[in-house]
Amino acid sequence: MQIVLKNVLLINPAQNLNSKSSLLIEDGIIKKNGELDDSEIKNSEVIDCEGKIAAPGLFDMHVHLREPGREDEETVQTGSNAAAAGGFTGIACMPNTSPDIDSAETVRFIIEKAKNHMVDVYPVGAATLGRKGEALAPINELVEAGIVAVSDDGVAIKNASILRSVLEYCGMFDLPVIEHCEDPTLANGAMNEGLNSTLLGLNGIPTIAEDLIVMRDIMMSEFTGSRVHIAHISSAKSVEMVREAKKKGIKVTAEVAPHHFTFTDDQIKSYDTNYKMNPPLRTKNDLDEIIKGLKDGTIDCIASDHAPHSIEEKEMEFIYAPNGILGLETQLGIALSELVHKKVLSIEQLIEKLSINPRKILNLPIPKFEVGEAANLTIIDPDFVWTVDHSQFKSKSKNSPYDKRLLTGKSIAVINNKKMYINGKFSNI
């Protein structure tokens, strides 16, 4: 089957590419890039891309798919569908499933579940057995089975000596260690600690709980020479430390979740549990530093921390409700609305943070707009105005604070693995 993307603005920072063209895609391969003949157009499904952008397929490196274990909240299938709906052609899924992704068997199980889908799913393995921070997971076996990183996400690697071993061991494979930076002895709370937690009568999680572990991990990265990736950075101080570490040449990278550049802990005044996540929403001061870090490149990428929870679990008293919100289907719209339209980032910079950089961090190839290459791309309408409606989500869960929010910018179609997602449907191409 032939697809034509007519008059599309091709943007790929990895190729220094920003130009208008038309693409002919046949059997999932880019066949032509440039002026197309009438005959080529006549025999194709033509997508008019006037005013739209084609970017290398977007990638979300922090997703919780809940399978195996909580298939009532999300599965590899439904999470992949949500990714496609949100404009993503690749995701990395976190290991805090049940069982944890700490055996080659579980890695293979997920890869098997994900095959034949338009979206590429790359498992992240547990760094330690059961994510308990006590003994190394069989990392070499996990690498052979197909993981792209390790993490004890949900918690930081508890024991500094084990962290050292994990980093040294992963260094052999140039495998990044993704850290959920939080000192658990300081983090017995339900929201950010500060004036708002005092006013709302909720125990707080102070930013120092994050900062201490970020500092430890940066120093350990420097000491071992191995790579640390800071997940969902939320504190101003942590951003500053990552910035300084990068200046020194330490191999640290960082991601931020959309809610941490969109909301502050003022949102908790409603006690709406869809604003409860970990790390928690912080203050305006933290948000401003995150924006600065996005601008100056301290923060490499944007990742959703997509965390599905059932309605019964989320609709609970605030202190009992689980942490986490959905992100896959709103992330691009939020990022375009909050960052590009507000002139924090250029569209090229956003594509770097949503496609190029996460792939670089995970040592994955970057899709290119070149004849002969497989088509792995996202078509974005940056000016499309829409209202988030969680009843329309492809995700199995509904826990989104963005419901009913007006956004500007959306993905229109996604192509990868000889498949296309457009108008809510998948088709083989």
Partner 1 sequence: MPLSSRHLLGLNGVPREDIELILDTAITFREVLDRPIKKVPTLQGKTIVNLFYENSTRTRISFELAQKRLSADTVNFSTSTSSTKKGETFKDTVRNIEAMKLDMIVVRHESAGVPLYLTKISNANIINAGDGLHEHPTQALLDMYSIKERLGKIEGLKVCIVGDVAHSRVALSNIFGLKTMGAQVSVCGPATMMPLGIEKLGVKVYHDINKAIAENDVLNILRIQLERNAGSTIPSTREYHNYYGVTAERISNYNKEIVILHPGPINRGVEITSEVADGPYQVILDQVTNGVAIRMAVLYLLGTMH
Omega before residue 358 within 30° of 0, cis? no
Which position among 50, 317, 343, 423 is part of the footprint of partner 1 (CB under 8 A)? 317
Query: Do 413 and 421 contact (CB within 8 A), yes or no?
Result: yes
Residues facing residue 25 across a β-bridge: 3, 30
Dihedrals φ, ψ of 426, to 5°?
-95, 145
Could you say which of 100, 183, 265, 305 is catalytic? 305
Which position among 296, 315, 383, 389 is part of the footprint of partner 1 (CB under 8 A)? 315
Q: In the complex with partner 1, which residue's Cβ is closer, 323 or 346?
A: 323
The interface with partner 1 within residues 186-205 (CB under 8 A) comprises 193-204
217 is catalytic: no
Q: In the complex with partner 1, which residue's Cβ is closer, 19 or 203?
A: 203
Q: In the complex with partner 1, which residue's Cβ is closer, 2 or 285?
A: 285
Which position among 206, 285, 295, 427 is part of the footprint of partner 1 (CB under 8 A)? 206
Q: In the complex with partner 1, which residue's Cβ is closer, 202 or 239?
A: 202
Place of tokens 């949500």: 82
* Binding pattern for the stretch 262-281 against partner 1, x by CB under 8 A and - elsewhere: --------xx----------
Is 111 a binding residue for partner 1 by CB under 8 A? The answer is no
Binding range to partner 1, per CB under 8 A, among 25-33, 64-72, 137-145, 314-322: 314-322
In whole angstroms, give the CA distance from residue 315 to residue 221: 40
Task: Kindly state the smallest distance separating residue 206's Cβ from partner 1, in Å.
Answer: 8
Collapsing DSSP states into helix, strand and coil, what is residue 24? strand
Task: Kindly state the smallest distance separating residue 326's Cβ from partner 1, in Å.
Answer: 20
Closest to 67 measured CA to CA, from 35, 31, 120, 113: 113
* Residue 265 in tokens: 């802990």
* Binding pattern for the stretch 68-107 against partner 1, x by CB under 8 A and - elsewhere: ----------------------------------------
In whole angstroms, give the CA distance from residue 42 to residue 24: 12
Place of tokens 């509904």: 398
Is 371 a binding residue for partner 1 by CB under 8 A? The answer is no
Place of tokens 């920003």: 18
* Residue 358 in tokens: 């996460």
Q: In the complex with partner 1, which residue's Cβ is closer, 197 or 331?
A: 197
Give, in order, the Cα–Cα distances in Å from 6 to each of 54, 213, 379, 417, 421.
11, 49, 11, 21, 17
Q: In the complex with partner 1, which residue's Cβ is closer, 195 or 371?
A: 195
Query: Do 124 and 97 contact (CB within 8 A), yes or no?
Result: no
Is 312 a binding residue for partner 1 by CB under 8 A? The answer is yes
Residues facing residue 312 across a β-bridge: none
Task: Kindly state the smallest distance separating residue 198's Cβ from partner 1, in Å.
Answer: 4
In whole angstroms, give the CA distance from residue 169 to residue 176: 11
The residues that are catalytic are: 305
Binding site for partner 1 (CB under 8 A): 193-204, 206, 270-271, 312, 315-320
